[in-house]
């Protein structure tokens, strides 16, 4: 496929075609995902859990992320590479700029930051310096200790109102994409319509502009043995991993995934 850029993703939003994103951590899966039609490869700090065996994403370092970005880059065949800034890697503006430089030089095309309206200033600084940013709202795993666990966010009206305001503020600051995690489907639909930039969902219903899943989850692999409500096992009924990835992309594009049972109510 032709190289996917921010302009590509913006065009997909405008045309109504859903965007397929998957987490990816190495060259082999990068190549297979691209061949399946995945448009965005997310080098997620989820690697701390699915690759390193930690119970959260907090132990992951910038060096870990740069290593896996470089590996994904070697196998990439035209997808946009999005990378997470790990826990406390953007606590100050100086840290943010230095760590984003490291990750972009390793091969990322875009960085993802978890937070809320307080991200406006770092997003503005990065955008001014040519670093595209995806802002991550809703359930933000790096704040799991503050949130009291992995819980749906935005169910209370005050929370929902704040999340809508945060989304608008971050777009205004220069965010090029939003990711909504574990957000009621109706709220995610409202935010997707309210902003001009692409909105990707995970556990946020089917009305967002695209979907993302953790690679290991959608292949039916889990260290914990627990499957989140928003996950579907795409290996079921398939004769191999390439077919499973193609089935995921097809389901996203055809809007059969996520189904109603994969979302949350207010």
Helix-then-strand count for the chain, H and E: 11, 8
CA distances for 236 relative to 115, 213, 218, 229, 240, angstroms: 35, 16, 10, 16, 10
| Residues flagged as binding site | 45-46, 84, 112, 114
| Residues flagged as binding site for Mg(2+) | 45, 84, 114
For 145, phi then psi, to 5°, come to -70, -35
Give Cβ neighbours of residue 215 (< 8 Å, ≥ 6 apart).
22, 23, 24, 25, 29, 33, 50
Please report the sign of the dihedral spanned by the C-alpha atoms of residue 254, residue 258, residue 260, residue 263: negative
| Residues flagged as binding site for 3-methyl-2-oxobutanoate | 45-46, 84, 112
- Among the options 121, 181, 190, 254, which is catalytic? 181
Q: Kindly report the number of other CB atoms within 10 A of residue 1's CB atom.
A: 12
Q: Is 181 a catalytic residue?
A: yes
Catalytic residues, by residue number, are 181
């Amino acid at each position: 496929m032709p190289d996917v850029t921010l302009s590509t993703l913006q065009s997909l939003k405008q045309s109504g075609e859903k965007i397929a994103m998957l987490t990816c951590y190495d060259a082999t899966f990068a190549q297979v995902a691209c061949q399946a039609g995945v448009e965005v490869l997310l080098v997620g700090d989820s690697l701390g859990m699915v690759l390193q065996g930690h119970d959260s994403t907090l132990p992951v370092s910038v060096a870990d992320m740069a290593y896996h970005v470089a590996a994904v880059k070697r196998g990439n065949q035209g997808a946009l590479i999005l990378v997470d800034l790990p826990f406390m890697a953007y606590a100050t503006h100086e840290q943010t700029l230095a760590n984003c430089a490291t990750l972009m030089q390793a091969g990322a095309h875009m960085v993802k930051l978890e937070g809320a309206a307080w991200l406006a200033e770092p997003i503005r600084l990065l955008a001014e310096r040519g670093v595209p940013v995806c802002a991550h709202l809703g359930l933000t795993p790096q704040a799991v200790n503050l949130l009291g666990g992995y819980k749906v966010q935005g169910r209370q009206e005050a929370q929902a109102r704040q999340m809508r305001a945060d989304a608008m503020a971050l777009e205004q600051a220069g965010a090029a994409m939003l990711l909504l995690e574990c957000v009621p489907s109706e709220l995610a639909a409202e935010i997707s319509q309210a902003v001009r930039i692409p909105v990707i969902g995970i556990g946020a219903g089917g009305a967002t502009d695209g979907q993302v899943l953790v690679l290991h989850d959608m292949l039916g692999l889990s260290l914990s043995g627990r499957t989140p409500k928003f996950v579907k096992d795409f290996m079921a009924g398939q004769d191999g991993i390439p077919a499973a990835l193609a089935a995921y992309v097809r389901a996203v594009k055809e809007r059969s995934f996520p189904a109603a049972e994969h979302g949350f109510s207010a």
